[in-house]
Amino acid sequence: MNRRHFLKTAGAVTLGFAGLRSFIACKGTRDVGYGSLISDPNKIFDLPKGFSYQIISRHGQKMSDGFFVPRRADGMAAFPGPNGLTLIVRNHEVNPEAKASEGAFGENYELLSRLQSDALYDAGSNGKPALGGTTTLVYDTRAQRLESQFLSLAGTLRNCAGGPTPWNSWITCEEFVVRADVNWAKDHGYVFEVPATAEAKLAPPVPLKAMGRFNHEAVAVHPATSIVYETEDQDDGLIYRFIPNQPQRLAEGGKLQALCVIDQPSLDTRNWKERKVAPGTVLRVKWLDLEDIEAPNDDLRLRGFAQGATRFARGEGAWYGNDAIYFACTNGGRKKKGQIWRYIPSLFEGAPEEQNDPGKLELFVEPNDGGIVDNADNLTVAPWGDLIVCEDGEKEQFLVGVTPKGEFYKFGKNAASDSELAGATFSPDGTTLFVNIQQEGLTLAITGPWRG
């Protein structure tokens, strides 16, 4: 049965897409993607014919501001810069127990004295600062050349993913919840906003506390309303939305809510023991107001679920595109190989009229096959509408493409190691895909015959 005939006979669109995804997950297709991957003789990254990469940044390099590129590059996004340049804001998921050499300040913190203590969010209780944060790269896609790179946020912990805003800033997320103690001078588990700028300077380290304190992973912003959707990297996490008091001014506060499926309170979408939600299923959504959002006991998700919020399996990467919010649940599904969900906001998103025309949640894909996708993590929406998904599973790690119809293809493979891939993002001009190989500390720029 060819794909066109399958769709023609599948009936309703929603049911047709659900069936198509099952069909593709079992059989695959030949007419999507960019063809077979070609082994890289340098054993860094395999790509299809016609595509190439270059390493533009690596851990330990001295940056333009004199600091060092920190380890564990993770989520990132690209923004338009001055004179046609591209600005890339990049997270560093440096762990609390990391050695000084994994951060930006040298093997013995010798460069730390160059900063005022208030330039870091947390300088530490014992003279050893939190080593996470962000760096910014200034890149020329016309010449395929790195112009500069510098530290842009300092003193945070485990900056895993985040998301771009329509007003040219990056929201970076701490994937670590801890109270101030003998090691840390401040509480952690917040998000921070980093402006995308070509000027080498640190962003003010101001936690956006109204957006909640929990094990943050990623965010995506609805351009029409400035509402921010947040994922939580926990086996029993929730999906949150933050409605700012003033559009584009997140630091001015707002309201935090959790996603609930209408008429199915406390729905468990993980599909671990039984499939409660099938791919292609569309669910109507309402949002639950949350209290005590700084959650000293890290129990926000537990209280929310008890009040009717929907439970998800490790919400990770999130991105806005195709008029929807896509987010990955890394170990969802019967075989815990991952799910990708799609939330379509209401025409009245965040307004009282929303209750009469609610937003809709769809389980976009759940292949339950590590050969198709193995633990989806960071993701982005390509300029032509496909998802590009970073794997964080076992053994070989791929960049996986997913078409709007739910068709899968392999786009790239980490040939250097079994390290997760992270931070996939396209330049504003659509010519270049940037991605990180986390353990090797490499940031790649990939070019080739993209669609469109």
Segments in 219-311 forming alpha helices (H): 300-306
Q: Would you say residue 10 has pLDDT above 90?
A: no
> Is residue 88 within 8 Å of residue 77, measured between CB atoms?
yes
Token pair in block for residue 239 = 């999906």
Percent share of the chain, pLDDT over 90: 91
Confidence of residue 266 (pLDDT cuts 50, 70, 90): very high
Q: Which pair of structure tokens corresponds to residue 396?
A: 């070989």
At 228, which helix (H) or strand (E)? strand 227-232
Segment 324-363, tens digit of pLDDT: 999 999 999 999 999 999 999 999 999 999 999 999 999 9
Question: Which among 257, 264, 267 is positioned nearest to 313, based on CA atoms?
Answer: 267
Average pLDDT score over the chain: 93
Q: Which of these ranges, 48-52, 273-277, 383-387, has the smallest mean pLDDT?
A: 273-277
Confidence band of 126 (pLDDT split at 50, 70, 90): confident
d(CA 36, CA 50) in angstroms, rounded, equals 11
The mean pLDDT of 148-171, rounded to a whole number, is 98
Q: In the chain, what percentage of residues exceed pLDDT 70?
A: 93
Q: DSSP state, 452?
A: -
CA distances from residue 19 to 15, 362, 428 in whole angstroms, order as listed: 6, 14, 34
Total Cβ atoms within 10 A of residue 388:
22
Task: Quote the tokens at residue 365.
Answer: 């894909």
Average pLDDT estimate for 146-164: 98
- The predicted model gives 286-302 an average pLDDT of 97
At residue 310, what is the residue type?
A: T
Under 8 Å between Cβ of 170 and 164:
yes
Distance spanning both ends of the chain, measured CA to CA: 28
Q: Give the pLDDT band (50/70/90) at residue 22.
A: very low
Cβ contacts of 416 within 8 Å, gap of 6 or more: 43, 44, 45, 437, 440, 442
**What pLDDT shows up at residue 19?**
38
Helix%, strand%, coil% for the chain, nearest 5: 10, 40, 50
Check residue 452 and give its pLDDT.
65
CB contact set of 451 (below 8 Å; sequence gap of 6+) = 382, 384
CB of 46 closer than 8 Å to CB of 446: no
SS3 393: coil
**pLDDT higher for 116 or 333?**
333
How confident is the model over 321-334, as pLDDT tens digits? 999 999 999 999 99
